[in-house]
Structure 1
Amino acid sequence: MKFKKGLSMAAGVSLIVAAGCGNDNNAADGGNGEENNGGNNGETTTLSVWAMGEEGNALGSFVESFENEHENIEVNVQAIPWDNAHDSLLTAVASGDGPDVLQLGTTWVAEFAGAGAFLDLSDYEDDYDMINNDDFFEGALDTTYYNDAIYGVPWYVDTRVLFYRTDILEEHGYEEPPQNWEEMLEVSRELADRGDGMFGFDIDQNDQLVPPIFAWQNGWEFNEEEAEENFADPAFREAMDYYHTYFAEGLVQETEGVPIEQGFEEGSKPMFTSGPWMINIIRNEAPDIDGDWDVAMFPGNERNASAIGGSHLSVFAKTENPEEALEFISYMSEPETQIEWFKETNTLPARQSAWDDEELQQDEKLAVFGDQLEEAVAPPVLSQWENIAQDLLSSLERINRGGADLDEELDNFQQQAANRLD
């Protein structure tokens, strides 16, 4: 069956910032979510913020308007290379000499919250309306909780959608992208049959989020009380079998091959999933296919789920300036500020109301990301999750490339998960 186009275009990274304590001056009176112009007899409080890579450079010039509104608060931003971020925070936790404000990748919440690195923001929920605000995407809010406490405020978000070559699909009789698993397999098989070196879909086999996305799409949910038994759920096992089908039938390339943007431009990899950053990469590096590609929600089975990523702003537990830190986080989380940050960095706002912005509404490709964020799921907030996800990738590699029996290998994976969760 060939399908006709009818997609909705309605609008709907992980990064860590460590900030120095900034405790050379007495803390200014703050709170209540209101503008804080001081209250410390004219003395200036300094919040030293370390941000990752290019975003750190962007944030350094971005805070000027905050300082103009808060004349007794200065923000000192230092860019930290991504490779050093995790170790920098470990050092800060161990020494107690850490940041006022942290921009935290969502997958690190459990590890560092469990180590006592962050201030529990639930104690400030009545005074600052950006804490636990349901204007944030639900998936983003989910990753701010750990052990019934709140350890961050969503800043920006990302998610994965389907990128596809409209011209190639149309050549094969498909006027719209696939809408579900059955159609996704049908289109992939059709496109893989074009000849040697041609594939239907591309799967990043190093991406820890891809296998869980397939599971979420099949109705699977992780329940902490069930622990490793989650991985015996038929919904999970069926999703891994579906994932394996693409390799068993040669619909995806087992080896890395050419960069995805090159394969997409050449047409050898006419469908893949990626985040919003890929839009500009394709526009800039593959201008010859302008008008011949589009994006759509990730086709699923029970639901068209994807993963939600991005970063939060958190407060270091040892800060001497909690009110000033929260004033800064409040400012950065305002819808108007998030829109300006999007225009500066092309990262997507975490506040749903920010998506009413005209620029986000008019770019149909970005609007699809807004739709997808409504169906985005947060990975479990567990300190062991990244290791479990890596174990799953290793098991799937043995299944896809080594010919291991799927059921036996997933049983072994479940036992590994049990050991990690014990």
Structure 2
Amino acid sequence: MQPIPRIAAATAATTALALLLSACGSGGGEQTSAKDKQTLTVWGMGEEGKHLAKLGKEFNKKHPNITVKVTPVGWDVVHQKLVSAVAAGELPDMAQMGSTMLGEFIELDALDTVDQKTFKKDDYFPAAWNGGVKDGEAYGVPWYVDTRALYYRTDLAEKAGVDKPPATWKDQMDLAEAYKDKAKTKWGTYNQPANIGTWQTWVPFLFSAGGELLDSSGKPALDSPESVKALEEYAAYFDQGLSRKSSPPDYDVVKDFGSGDAPMFISGPWIVNNIKDQQPQLKGKYATAPLPAGESSTSWVGGASLVTFKDSEHKAAAKEFTKYLTSTEQQAHWYEIAKSLPAKEAAWDEPALKNAPEQLDAFEKQLKTAKTVPPLAKWEEFSAKIDEGVARVSQKGESPKKAAAWMQKATEGLVG
């Protein structure tokens, strides 16, 4: 998922809010049977939208009466287009929706609930399913997932005298120091210091410290002892000169990984293909591993779910297409064509996944213990405060305790 400009998103949401609340929730008009001849309209995001159109044609061969019309929408504009479409009553029947967007559209009553007899929670990675659940109701069926794991240069680790992946926070710090001191790399690792999306690298530290984004009452928990500990651990890499303190918004860590300047970093599974395409010389010279553990080795789950909009008149057809896309066979097929990881656990036993690059094994392990990012209506604003809080520590030298207190206060008005 690509981040969207927050100012534009916030402006669009604020302007349309009154219209949204009055436009949503009617439940659609007269429903069309899945057996009737019809056109099912679907929005797919980015490059995935183009691949989805191909699957729509394959589905149509098996269901000649249902024509799937897919409209690809860029990740950079999808939020604004969805907000405008809800306000205007011009939504498609269903869409691919990024995991951190679900909360906003659940809050706006724009999504239909999932039939949990047809789509069963236990078939999916728990954190992926729970990301679309509020008050016991599910609003999205997980389609594909990603999580964060550790990438590290094995050749440079060997040069530094280390022959196994780091299993704990101490191991991770020791390896970063060894890279710089013994392998003579420019930095020992790369932790994103600031800018949009910094939370994606820091939240695994929070979860691995035993912390949470929200407490049991649904209020922010960003000033907890665990949060302070996570900020302290994160900050130590900057304080000791083991990670660069600034990077441009378009910074590509894969380049520094290839040169050896940044021999270790945390990121998602798509990087495996980026390395293959952009840094082919690294074949056999790097590996992935589950996140080194603080109290635990715990990442977070991202990805996308399939949602049906409440006002659709083609909910039966939408259910059929969702069943098709989330079948075990199609989940494996989707990995083959889009390299996105299946949300359905059984798909990992399919040949396509069994024969996938070995670097993906760490992500399967990580997904089993990963936690959910809560479906918050104001997640974009909430995550922006985390980004700023981390930057206060990494770039301004603010104490972790003070930064944690600031994040707590800054996010308290963003949850309801």
Tell me the TM-score normalised to structure 1 length: 0.86
Asked if 1:323 corresponds to 2:334, the answer is: no
Asked if 1:89 corresponds to 2:82, the answer is: yes
Partner of 1:165: 153
Partner of 2:91: 98
Partner AA of 2:222 in structure 1 = F
Partner of 2:7: none
> Taking structure 1 as reference, are residues 190 and 197 closer, same or farther at Cα in structure 2, changes over 3 Å only?
closer
Which structure 2 residues correspond to residues 126-141 of structure 1 after superposition, within 5 A? 126=117, 128=118, 130=119, 132-141=120-129
1:143-166 deviation line (CA, Å, top 9, x unaligned): 111233211100000111111111
What 5-or-longer segments of structure 2 have no aligned partner? 5-28
3-state DSSP class of the match of 1:282? helix
Which structure 2 residues correspond to residues 314-353 of structure 1 after superposition, within 5 A? 314-353=307-346
Partner of 2:413: 419
Partner AA of 1:359 in structure 2 = A
Larger Rg: 1
3-state DSSP class of the match of 2:96? strand
Partner of 2:234: 243
Partner of 1:6: none
Which structure 2 residues correspond to residues 59-208 of structure 1 after superposition, within 5 A? 59-121=52-114, 124-126=115-117, 128=118, 130=119, 132-194=120-182, 198-205=186-193, 206=195, 207=197, 208=199
**Mapped partners of 1:26, 1:146: distance in 2:** 27
Deviating more after overlay: 159-168 vs 250-259:
250-259
**Mapped partners of 1:117, 1:111: distance in 2:** 9
**Mapped partners of 2:403, 2:32: distance in 1:** 58
Give 1:26 deviation, angstroms.
7.9
Aligned 8 A contact 2:148 2:268 in 1 = yes
Deviating more after overlay: 161-170 vs 192-201:
192-201
Partner of 1:252: 243
Aligned 8 A contact 1:14 1:309 in 2 = no
> Taking structure 1 as reference, are residues 330 and 48 closer, same or farther at Cα in structure 2, changes over 3 Å only?
same
Aligned 8 A contact 1:228 1:415 in 2 = no
Partner AA of 2:33 in structure 1 = D
Give 1:14 deviation, angstroms.
7.0
Deviating more after overlay: 155-164 vs 64-73:
64-73
1:12-66 deviation line (CA, Å, top 9, x unaligned): x4799xxxxxxxx985434xxxxxxx2x3xxx21001121121111111222221
Aligned 8 A contact 2:32 2:313 in 1 = no
Asked if 1:274 corresponds to 2:260, the answer is: no
Partner AA of 2:368 in structure 1 = E
Partner AA of 2:70 in structure 1 = V
**Mapped partners of 1:174, 1:325: distance in 2:** 52
Give 1:86 deviation, angstroms.
0.5
1:71-100 deviation line (CA, Å, top 9, x unaligned): 211101111122220111101211222111
Partner of 1:232: 223
3-state DSSP class of the match of 1:272? strand
3-state DSSP class of the match of 2:222? helix
Aligned identity (percent) is: 31
Partner of 2:283: 290
3-state DSSP class of the match of 2:76? helix
1:304-329 deviation line (CA, Å, top 9, x unaligned): 11121100001111001111111111
Give 1:420 deviation, angstroms.
2.6
Partner AA of 2:128 in structure 1 = A
Partner of 1:392: 386
Partner AA of 1:254 in structure 2 = K
Q: 1:220 aligns with which of 208, 211, 225?
A: 211
> Taking structure 1 as reference, are residues 368 and 217 closer, same or farther at Cα in structure 2, changes over 3 Å only?
same
3-state DSSP class of the match of 1:82? coil
1:291-344 deviation line (CA, Å, top 9, x unaligned): 111111111211111121100001111001111111111111101011111101
Partner AA of 1:382 in structure 2 = L
RMSD of the alignment, in Å?
2.2
What 5-or-longer segments of structure 1 have no aligned partner? 1-12, 17-24, 31-37
Partner of 1:405: 399
- Between Structure 1 and Structure 2, how many residues are aligned? 386
Aligned 8 A contact 1:215 1:236 in 2 = yes
> Taking structure 1 as reference, are residues 305 and 163 closer, same or farther at Cα in structure 2, changes over 3 Å only?
same
**Mapped partners of 1:291, 1:151: distance in 2:** 42
> Taking structure 1 as reference, are residues 405 and 276 closer, same or farther at Cα in structure 2, changes over 3 Å only?
closer
3-state DSSP class of the match of 1:232? coil
3-state DSSP class of the match of 2:61? helix
Tell me the TM-score normalised to structure 2 length: 0.88
Asked if 1:354 corresponds to 2:358, the answer is: no
Aligned 8 A contact 1:27 1:45 in 2 = no
Partner AA of 2:59 in structure 1 = F
Partner of 1:366: 360
> Taking structure 1 as reference, are residues 409 and 14 closer, same or farther at Cα in structure 2, changes over 3 Å only?
closer
